Amino acid sequence: MSGTHRKVLEVLSGKTLTPPPIWLMRQAGRYLPEYRAVRATAGSFLDLCYTPDLAVEVTLQPIRRYGFDAAILFSDILVVPDGLRRNVRFEEGQGPRMDPIDEDGIGRLRPDGVIAHLAPVFETVGRLRRELPTDTTLLGFCGAPWTVATYMIAGRGTPDQAPARLFAYRHPRAFERLLTLLADISADYLVEQIDAGADAVQIFDSWAGVLGEEEFQRFAIEPVRRMIASVRARRPSAKIIAFAKGAGLLLKNYRQATGTDAIGLDWSVPLSFAAELQKDGPVQGNLDPVRVVAGGAALEHGTDRILDVLGQGPLIFNLGHGITPDADPDHVAALVARVRGSR
């Protein structure tokens, strides 16, 4: 990284930049016609994730179009259970599916071979670092153990993750074993991404918001703390963003409890609370993705509010969740221009 000026990394080190750097979750995706063209040729969604030529191309598309300050590896959080041989597949119009796991199945899980299975991902990371502009931060990522476990227990996404919550209450030892296994594999996975060329990594806990206070501590904080400690023991300078969507007030001590450098914030987090969290370090977020769909005054007002409240501290501008397929690419261009000062 010698001689480069990667703004996202500077913010992750605690600096305040004006204007703040910007990237968007799911910035490579179905709202872009060029993505849809590649997706149509890729076969299955996992084929797209595991084919470096294609994964590199779709990762680069939004960088070419918008010049975001960071590119995020194109992959999926469910490649880890796929590596655990859970028969992951993505069904059109139905979302992810896999073979549900039970208590006996958890006891039979072995981490052997998972990292080897993910070798195409590391090849993609390495190629991206070589092909990206030198001042563009490359982000790797993985799912948090709780969120990945919810899919493994139910075999699919569910509205409130009741299957995983019920399983955790009925089989606490087996569930703890699953979370620990996922934490350790995921830490290995992040280290490999860093070694392949990722500048920083993000941990997505997309279903943290369904947890109560005690469960959040046990299922969201503890496994992520274990992951981050494992990564830092091997790569002490690693920069990490943790995004616990929907966690609300439970984020108050999340940074200190997990050891993350930055906290990702969804759009339901009040900006006054976000400003309090920012006093302890960088925050990322937190524009409502629907404002990007709306465009116009709604987009401008939401953007300006975040910049006004959080722009005087370490901020990475982002959405409060992934960009939606119905977003207008021109609205994204308007967002980037406004964040960068064209207002």
| Spatial separation of the C-alpha atoms in residues 52 and 56, rounded to whole Å | 6
Distances 74 to 107, 128, 318 between C-alpha atoms, Å: 31, 10, 17
Residue of 325, 295, 333 lying closest to 35 (CA atoms): 325
| Spatial separation of the C-alpha atoms in residues 34 and 27, rounded to whole Å | 12
- Residue 242, φ and ψ in degrees, nearest 5: -120, 130
- Structure token digits, residue 277: 């969290």
| CB of 109 closer than 8 Å to CB of 95 | no
Active site residue 50: no
Active site residue 76: yes
Active site residue 30: yes
| Spatial separation of the C-alpha atoms in residues 218 and 195, rounded to whole Å | 29
Catalytic residue among 35, 69, 76, 338: 76
Distances 77 to 49, 73, 143, 146, 319 between C-alpha atoms, Å: 11, 11, 5, 12, 18
- Structure token digits, residue 58: 């779709």
Catalytic residue among 35, 66, 151, 254: 151
Question: What burial letters (b/e) apply to 71-91, b meaning 16+ CB within 10 Å?
Answer: bbbbbbbbbbbbbbebebebe
Catalytic residue among 39, 85, 218, 235: 39
| Spatial separation of the C-alpha atoms in residues 210 and 220, rounded to whole Å | 11
Catalytic residue among 26, 97, 225, 338: 26
Catalytic residue among 30, 65, 232, 340: 30
Active site residue 127: no
| CB of 109 closer than 8 Å to CB of 144 | no
Active site residue 151: yes
Q: What is the DSSP letter of 240?
A: E
Cα dihedral sign for 169, 264, 130, 60? positive
| CB of 307 closer than 8 Å to CB of 286 | no
| Spatial separation of the C-alpha atoms in residues 196 and 124, rounded to whole Å | 9
What positions carry a catalytic annotation? 26, 30, 39, 76, 151
